[in-house]
């Protein structure tokens, strides 16, 4: 799966708040995206770390292959 495909899946979720997805940080090994989910009167932040294939460093981030991903929870 490509990063662009994963981001499209996030945007298609029924609770995704429109236009809230953005790139927080990235390098050749991974990236972090943040977005909001709608919870009636309030929104909740979501964060996802995406592990990338470092051999694809010459590609645009949206065209890179997703090796794995994990949801990031805030520290408690």
Does 44 map to a domain?
Answer: yes
Q: pLDDT at residue 15 above 80?
A: yes
Distances (CA, A) of 10 to 32, 54, 75: 13, 23, 23
In a domain, 40, yes or no: yes
Residue 76 lies inside a defined structural domain of this protein: no
- Residue 42: which domain range? 3-71
Largest CA distance in the chain: 43
Flag whether 53 is in a domain.
yes
**pLDDT digits 0-9 by tens, 33-73:** 999 999 888 989 999 999 999 999 999 999 999 999 999 98
Q: CB atoms < 10 A from the CB of 73, how many?
A: 8
The torsion angles phi and psi of 17, rounded to 5 degrees, stand at: -85, 125
Domain-embedded: residue 9: yes
pTM flag (> 0.85): yes
Considering its fold, how many domains does the chain have in total? 1
Flag whether 56 is in a domain: yes
């Amino acid at each position: 799966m490509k990063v662009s495909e994963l981001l499209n899946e996030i945007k298609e979720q029924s609770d995704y708040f429109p236009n809230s997805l953005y790139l927080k940080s990235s390098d050749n090994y991974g990236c972090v995206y943040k977005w909001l989910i709608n919870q009636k009167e309030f929104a909740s932040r979501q964060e996802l770390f995406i592990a990338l294939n470092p051999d694809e460093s010459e590609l645009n981030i949206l065209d890179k292959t997703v090796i794995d991903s994990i949801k990031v929870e805030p520290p408690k």
